[in-house]
A and B are shown apart, each in its own frame.
Chain A
Amino acid sequence: EDKVVQSPLSLVVHEGDTVTLNCSYEVTNFRSLLWYKQEKKAPTFLFMLTSSGIEKKSGRLSSILDKKELSSILNITATQTGDSAIYLCAVEFGTNAGKSTFGDGTTLTVKP
């Protein structure tokens, strides 16, 4: 069974802290791993990772993929209250491009 597991399920930190979110996967014919941020509405795209060891960065957010360990991490440095959201990891897999399985998400709460 194809699956994506995220940890922790929830996290509460204070502004300025650094957080690391984890995503592990077991799928057949891995294609890519994607991170999304979901606030009150629909998820919005953060990163797409296809190669091991290459860090993707956007401001205070960064992510890296380890295909040997079948996992990825999402780092957020100097957290702000606006980072409070559900962070979703998705893995695209299979013989047909496009199909993705999502993890259950990590709910991050950043307190002032």
Chain B
Amino acid sequence: NAGVTQTPKFQVLKTGQSMTLQCAQDMNHEYMSWYRQDPGMGLRLIHYSVGAGITDQGEVPNGYNVSRSTTEDFPLRLLSAAPSQTSVYFCASSYLSGKSGGYTFGSGTRLTVV
């Protein structure tokens, strides 16, 4: 099993550019989410989804869009990149019920906005 696959691993954007971070999981997890992690801080929830066609906002949703057209994929779109969005982004997934193993995380995307 590949688990959670995130691409790209690194990205540099200019202010105002848009891009999509990809996330795919092959574990049939219902729940998927995007977090950002800034230096010295924990993970802050951007958006999450409990199933295909269902998404909701987390703590820091401004400047980001998501969609969940399939169970496997949960892309995160930056609409107009700003330096404040420089961060490490993690995608995470899990089952909704009967869960005993916490989240499975992707390897992360290090994004720099200049």
Write the residues of chain A forming the contact surface with B, with a CB cutoff of 8 angstroms: 4, 6, 34, 36, 41-45, 48, 88, 90, 96-105
Pairs A–B under 8 Å by Cβ, sample size 26: A4-B42, A34-B103, A36-B102, A36-B103, A41-B107, A42-B106, A42-B107, A44-B105, A45-B103, A48-B99, A48-B100, A90-B102, A96-B50, A96-B56, A97-B31, A98-B33, A98-B48, A99-B48, A99-B58, A100-B33, A100-B45, A101-B45, A101-B59, A102-B35, A102-B45, A104-B42
Secondary structure dominating the interface of B: loop
Query: Is A45's CB under 8 angstroms from B43's CB?
Result: no
* Complex: A99 Cα to B48 Cα, angstroms: 7
Given known contacts A96-B50, A97-B50, A98-B31, is B90 in contact with A45 (CB within 8 Å)?
Answer: no
Query: Is B108's CB under 8 angstroms from A41's CB?
Result: yes
Partner of A104 from the list B41, B96, B102, B108 (CB cut-off 8 Å) is: B41
Query: Is B42's CB under 8 angstroms from A42's CB?
Result: no
Q: How many interface contacts (CB-CB < 8 Å) are there between A and B?
A: 65
Partner of B97 from the list A48, A97, A99, A102 (CB cut-off 8 Å) is: A97
* Complex: A99 Cα to B90 Cα, angstroms: 14
Specify which chain B residues have a CB less than 8 angstroms from the CB of A97 in the assembled complex.
31, 50, 96-97, 99
Query: Is B45's CB under 8 angstroms from A99's CB?
Result: yes
Counting contact residues on chain B (CB < 8 A from A), the size range is 20 to 34
Nearest residue in B to A43 (C-beta to C-beta)? B105
Query: Is A100's CB under 8 angstroms from B103's CB?
Result: yes
Query: Is B108's CB under 8 angstroms from A45's CB?
Result: no
Nearest residue in A to B29 (C-beta to C-beta)? A98
Is B40's beta carbon under 8 Å from chain A?
A: yes
A42 to chain B, nearest CB (A): 4
B residues 76-114 near A (Cβ < 8 Å) are: 90, 94, 96-97, 99-108
